[in-house]
Chain A
Amino acid sequence: MSVISYGLVRARVRPSGSMLARNWIAMRRAWVLIVSGGVESLLFLFAFGFGVGSMVGDITLPDGTAISYTAYVAPAILANAAMMGTLLETSINVFAKFKWMKVYDGILNTPMRPGDVALGEVWWALIRGGIYVGMFVIAMGAFGLLDSWWSVLAVPACVFIALAFAGIGLTLATFFREWTDFDWMMAVVFAMFLFGGTFTPVEAYPGFAQPIVYVMPLYHGIELVRGLSLGAFHPMMLVNVLYLMALAAVGTWVAQRRLAKALYK
Chain B
Amino acid sequence: MTAVAAPAPARLGHAAGAWRAFLLQLALYRHIWHGTAFSSVILPILYMVSIGIGVGSYIDDASTGGITYAEFIAPGLIASVAVMMLGNDMVYPVFGGYREWGGSYLAQRATPLRPVDILNGHLLYAVVFRPLTACTVVAVVLAFFGVYTSAWAALAVVAAVFVSASIAPWLFAWCSSLKSESMLNAVFRFAIMPITLFSGVFFPAEQMPGFLQPLVWLSPLWHGTELARAATADVAPALPPIAHLAYLVALGAGGWLAARRVVVRRLSF
Q: Do A and B touch each other in the complex, judged by CB within 8 A?
A: yes
B-facing residues in A191-217 (Cβ within 8 Å) = 191, 194-195, 198-200, 204
Contact yes or no, B193 A180, CB < 8 A:
no
In the bound complex, CA of A3 to CA of B35 (Å): 53
Contact yes or no, A51 B207, CB < 8 A:
yes
Contact yes or no, B47 A54, CB < 8 A:
no
Contact with A along B25-42 (1 / 0, CB 8 A): 000000010011011001
Contact yes or no, A52 B182, CB < 8 A:
no
B-facing residues in A32-56 (Cβ within 8 Å) = 33, 36-37, 39-40, 43-44, 46-48, 51-52, 54-56
Contact yes or no, A37 B189, CB < 8 A:
yes
Contact with A along B180-206 (1 / 0, CB 8 A): 001001100110011001100011000
B-facing residues in A150-205 (Cβ within 8 Å) = 180, 183-184, 186-187, 190-191, 194-195, 198-200, 204
In the bound complex, CA of A150 to CA of B49 (Å): 32
Given A39-B189, A43-B197, A200-B54; A30-B46 close (CB under 8 Å): no
Contact yes or no, A51 B202, CB < 8 A:
yes
Contact yes or no, A195 B64, CB < 8 A:
no
Partner of B202 from the list A48, A186, A191, A195 (CB cut-off 8 Å) is A48
Contact yes or no, B55 A52, CB < 8 A:
yes
Determine if B51 is an interface residue (Cβ-Cβ < 8 Å): yes
Which residue of A is nearest B55, CB measured?
A199
Given A195-B50, A199-B55; A190-B208 close (CB under 8 Å): no
Given A30-B182, A48-B202; A36-B51 close (CB under 8 Å): no
Contact yes or no, A54 B197, CB < 8 A:
no
Contact yes or no, A180 B207, CB < 8 A:
no
| Minimal beta-carbon separation of A199 from chain B (angstroms) | 5
Which residue of A is nearest B32, CB measured?
A180
**Chain B residues touching A, range:** 20 to 34
Contact yes or no, A51 B208, CB < 8 A:
yes
Contact yes or no, A56 B38, CB < 8 A:
no
Determine if B269 is an interface residue (Cβ-Cβ < 8 Å): no
In the bound complex, CA of A52 to CA of B58 (Å): 10
Determine if B63 is an interface residue (Cβ-Cβ < 8 Å): yes
Contact yes or no, B51 A52, CB < 8 A:
yes
Determine if A69 is an interface residue (Cβ-Cβ < 8 Å): yes
| Minimal beta-carbon separation of A241 from chain B (angstroms) | 26
Determine if A127 is an interface residue (Cβ-Cβ < 8 Å): no
Given A187-B38, A190-B43; A52-B189 close (CB under 8 Å): no
Contact yes or no, A183 B36, CB < 8 A:
yes
Contact yes or no, A36 B55, CB < 8 A:
no
Determine if B264 is an interface residue (Cβ-Cβ < 8 Å): no
In the bound complex, CA of A42 to CA of B207 (Å): 17
Determine if B59 is an interface residue (Cβ-Cβ < 8 Å): yes
| Minimal beta-carbon separation of B262 from chain A (angstroms) | 23
Q: Which chain A residues border B43 with CB–CB below 8 Å?
A: 187, 190
In the bound complex, CA of A37 to CA of B189 (Å): 7
Given A37-B189, A39-B189, A43-B197; A54-B58 close (CB under 8 Å): no
Determine if A59 is an interface residue (Cβ-Cβ < 8 Å): yes
Q: Which chain B residues border A47 with CB–CB below 8 Å?
A: 197-198, 202-203
B-facing residues in A54-87 (Cβ within 8 Å) = 54-56, 59, 69
Q: Which chain B residues border A43 with CB–CB below 8 Å?
A: 193-194, 197-198
Contact yes or no, B182 A56, CB < 8 A:
no
A-facing residues in B57-94 (Cβ within 8 Å) = 57-60, 63-64, 69
Contact yes or no, B197 A194, CB < 8 A:
no
In the bound complex, CA of A40 to CA of B187 (Å): 12
Contact yes or no, A33 B185, CB < 8 A:
yes
Which residue of A is nearest B185, CB measured?
A33
Q: Which chain B residues border A184 with CB–CB below 8 Å?
A: 35, 38
In the bound complex, CA of A141 to CA of B190 (Å): 23
Q: Which chain B residues border A30 with CB–CB below 8 Å?
A: 182
Given A43-B193, A47-B197, A55-B203; A33-B51 close (CB under 8 Å): no
In the bound complex, CA of A56 to CA of B59 (Å): 5
Interface hub of A46, A59, A186, A204 (most chain B Cβ within 10 A): A46
Q: Which chain A residues border B63 with CB–CB below 8 Å?
A: 55
Which residue of B is nearest A73, CB measured?
B55
Given A33-B182, A40-B193; A69-B58 close (CB under 8 Å): yes
A-B contact pairs, 26 of them (CB 8 A): A36-B186, A36-B190, A37-B189, A39-B189, A43-B194, A43-B197, A46-B198, A47-B203, A48-B55, A48-B202, A52-B51, A52-B55, A52-B202, A52-B203, A54-B203, A55-B60, A55-B63, A55-B69, A55-B207, A56-B58, A59-B58, A180-B32, A190-B46, A195-B50, A199-B51, A200-B57
